[in-house]
Amino acid sequence: MEESQRSLRLTKPRDSIAHKERHLILLMACYVLGGSKNTIHTEDIMNQAFLWNTDKFGWRKKKYKNYPNTLPLSQGLFRARTLGFLKGTYDQQYLSKDGWTLTDKGLEKADSLSSLVNVKTSKKTLSQFQKKILSEFRKHENFHLEGKDFTIYHLADILNISVNNSPLMNSSLIKIYRWAKISDDKDVLQLIEKKIKKQKSFKKYLKEALTEI
């Protein structure tokens, strides 16, 4: 009997995402909502984190404890960004500018903690539309031009974006890279490595994307 009680005392309690540090809870909230492949709004991430741990992310007074406190929630988001797990912006004025995605480092960390959460397969696998984008990118004739240098104009044509719209080019290329990583599309990753990352002249247009990919 004494040995049995001692064994129970030594048993490690089951781990839970709710008991992790704030930034990890916010990271995993973004992860379960599909942040590995899409941009997730701040309010959705905060709401998921709050549902996991109302004590940590709720107001202190008992009559307000069922309401989320955005201060610790935003601190967790910004901490995750500082550590390189998340990439994004919290914009309360313009919803179109607000949102977060996982970085490669964040995806690796989230995968290591995935046993603590319930992640729908659809949140981790590509949609048919995303697969179609990768296929069109991989097969585009501009990647296979003979006797011609690959220029930023060729890439703009592949992405169907004006070369003058640098922000959209960067965000689109980052998405394609992330989708290729998730689906382990080695052909697309190789094209990005050989045709895009090695072009020094692209840095002027793709500073953000080249930093991340």
Residue-wise pLDDT for 158-204, tens only, equals: 999 999 999 899 989 988 998 898 888 999 999 999 999 988 889 88
What average pLDDT does range 38-49 have in this prediction? Answer: 93
pLDDT value for 123: 65
Tell me the torsion sign for CA atoms 190, 199, 84, 28: negative
CA distances to 31, 38, 49, 137, 206 from 145, rounded to whole Å, are: 39, 32, 49, 14, 22
- pLDDT over 80 at 125, yes or no: no
Q: Which of 96-105, 127-136, 148-157 has the lowest mean pLDDT?
A: 96-105
Helix/strand/coil (H, E, C) string of 136-152?
HHHHCHHHHCCCCCCCH
- 126 half-sphere exposure, CB direction, 13 A CA radius: 19
- pLDDT over 50 at 8, yes or no: no
Whole-number average pLDDT of the chain: 86
pLDDT value for 209: 84
> CATH fold of 15-120, please?
Arc Repressor Mutant, subunit A (1.10.10)
Q: Is the pTM of this model over 0.85?
A: no
pLDDT value for 9: 45
Q: What percent of the chain has pLDDT over 90?
A: 45
pLDDT value for 109: 92
Helix/strand/coil (H, E, C) string of 28-82?
HHHHHCCCCCCCECHHHHHHHHHHHCHHHHECCCHHHCCCECHHHHHHHHHHHHH
Q: What percent of the chain has pLDDT over 70?
A: 91
Residue ranges of the chain that CATH labels 1.10.10.10: 15-120
pLDDT value for 122: 55
User: Contact, 10 vs 67, CB < 8 A?
Assistant: no
